[in-house]
Amino acid sequence: MADRAGVSHGTVSHVLNHPERVRPETRARVEAAIAELGFVRDEAARHLRAGYSTTIGLMLLDAWNPSFLDIARGVEERIGDGPWTVLMSNSARDTRREQRYLTEYASRRVAGLIVIPNDQVHAESRLPLRLDVPTVVVDRAEQGPATMSVAVDDRLGGRLLAEHLLALGHRRIAFVGDPESAIPVQARFTGFTDALAAAPDADLETVPAPLTVEAGLEVGRALAERRPTARPTVVATAVDLLAFGVLQSLLSAGIRVPEDLSLTGYDDISFTAQLSVPLTAVARPHLRMGVDAADLLLRSLGGEEPDPRHLVRAPELKIRASTAPPRRPRSA
């Protein structure tokens, strides 16, 4: 390339790394040679030689869940068109895959990490944060100086939801979703039961289920097979995806929502309000969480000491058409 442009190898290096040091006419010749030869810089090798990277690792928990994609959008929105690039991965709620990606990020010497961890309640170990780079953990309330974190007060969210259902008059209530599947889900369930404790006549049925649309479909079919008087008057799901499946099965079976059975979600992902029955749900600020996480990381990479290092956002209850006061069941 140097020969093609008629310059020294040092001049080519300056054009690639410090173009402001090269005269415009010389820089133009080098850039023309680069384009003609189809040269692509080996960024990985360059960073390994320099001992640093301009890459930020972003590990999602479940790329099929739109709420986590909204967090990724927030990260990208904050990072913008600056010198940083984002290398995204998806652990798919698999701890071994999570560890493999962390190892890969370490080998690439990423400048920093944003991680949504696979936080099963009874896991023997938590996400190991041994990488010697600034790290922001999302969707888990952290403490101490080792990391930074962005989370939502899901215990408050669960309580707000239960209080709404109790105020409508519901007492036969089902909670769908496994509280042991993830720490945020456990927090929602804890807040939910905290509120129900104030209503001694409330009868809570817990239906453990994976956090997927398919699991919601099965739960909805099982509910539809019960006699009307044996069903709860409201189903509260741990995530919106479960609610989508439950709603589809109920409507397919001729069970009206909310006339025959009320239904709620949790997350308030982008199309929750556009369903055939707009869904009452607890809204979590996922886009804002992504922006916050990227902001904390960029400030740390810029040499600042973010204060506070641990952010907890408040959820918001969105009341829509899927909840109403309970009615006397129609005869089977």
Distance of CA 3 to the CA centre of its chain: 50
Q: Using the predicted structure, report yes or no on whether residue 218 has a pLDDT greater than 70.
A: yes
Confidence of residue 207 (pLDDT cuts 50, 70, 90): very high
Q: From 155, 122, 159, 127, select the one nearest 142 (Cα to Cα).
A: 127
Q: What pLDDT, on the 0 to 100 scale, is given for residue 50? A: 46
Q: What pLDDT, on the 0 to 100 scale, is given for residue 142? A: 74
Q: Determine the average pLDDT of the residues in 95-115.
A: 90
Q: From 161, 255, 176, 165, select the one nearest 211 (Cα to Cα).
A: 176
For the chain, what percent of residues have pLDDT higher than 90? 62
Q: Using the predicted structure, report yes or no on whether residue 34 has a pLDDT greater than 60.
A: yes
Confidence of residue 42 (pLDDT cuts 50, 70, 90): very low
Q: What pLDDT, on the 0 to 100 scale, is given for residue 23? A: 75
Q: What pLDDT, on the 0 to 100 scale, is given for residue 26? A: 74
Arithmetic mean of pLDDT over the chain = 86
For 162-171, write each residue's pLDDT tens digit.
999 999 999 9
For 79-90, write each residue's pLDDT tens digit.
987 789 999 999
Q: Using the predicted structure, report yes or no on whether residue 2 has a pLDDT greater than 60.
A: no
For 172-193, write each residue's pLDDT tens digit.
999 999 998 889 999 999 999 9
Q: Using the predicted structure, report yes or no on whether residue 242 has a pLDDT greater than 80.
A: yes
Phi-psi region of 224 (alpha: psi -120 to 50; beta: other; left: phi over 0): alpha
Distance CA 160, CA 313 (A): 15
**Range of weakest confidence among 46-55, 169-178, 265-274, 288-297:** 46-55
Q: What pLDDT, on the 0 to 100 scale, is given for residue 239? A: 96
CB distance 178 to 185 below 8 Å: yes
Q: From 197, 219, 217, select the one nearest 208 (Cα to Cα).
A: 219
Q: Which two tokens stand for residue 242?
A: 């479960």
Distance CA 16, CA 158 (A): 54
Please spell the DSSP secondary structure of 235-252, one letter per residue. Answer: EEESSHHHHHHHHHHHHH
Q: Give the strand pairing for 135-138 and 148-152.
A: parallel
Contacts of 139 (CB under 8 A, 6+ apart): 61, 71, 116, 117, 119, 150, 151, 152, 184, 289
Q: What pLDDT, on the 0 to 100 scale, is given for residue 306? A: 86
Pairwise pLDDT comparison (327 vs 130), residue with the higher score: 327
Name the packing angle between helices 213-224 and 240-252 (round to 10°).
40
Q: What are the structural domains of the chain?
A: 2-41 (no CATH), 53-152+286-314 (3.40.50.2300), 154-284 (3.40.50.2300)
**Range of weakest confidence among 97-101, 118-122, 245-249, 303-307:** 118-122
Q: Determine the average pLDDT of the residues in 60-64.
A: 90
CB distance 286 to 68 below 8 Å: yes
Q: What pLDDT, on the 0 to 100 scale, is given for residue 24? A: 78
3-class SS of residue 189: helix
Q: What pLDDT, on the 0 to 100 scale, is given for residue 12? A: 52
Distance CA 315, CA 156 (A): 7
Neighbours of 148 (CB within 10 A): 25
Q: What pLDDT, on the 0 to 100 scale, is given for residue 181? A: 86
Q: Determine the average pLDDT of the residues in 289-310.
A: 92
Distance CA 221, CA 249 (A): 5
Q: What pLDDT, on the 0 to 100 scale, is given for residue 8? A: 66
Pairwise pLDDT comparison (71 vs 141), residue with the higher score: 71
Omega of the bond leading into 308 within 30 degrees of 0 (cis): yes
48 vs 43, 101, 134, 299, 303, CA distance in Å? Answer: 9, 18, 18, 23, 21
CB distance 231 to 290 below 8 Å: no
Q: Using the predicted structure, report yes or no on whether residue 15 has a pLDDT greater than 70.
A: no
Q: What pLDDT, on the 0 to 100 scale, is given for residue 32? A: 75
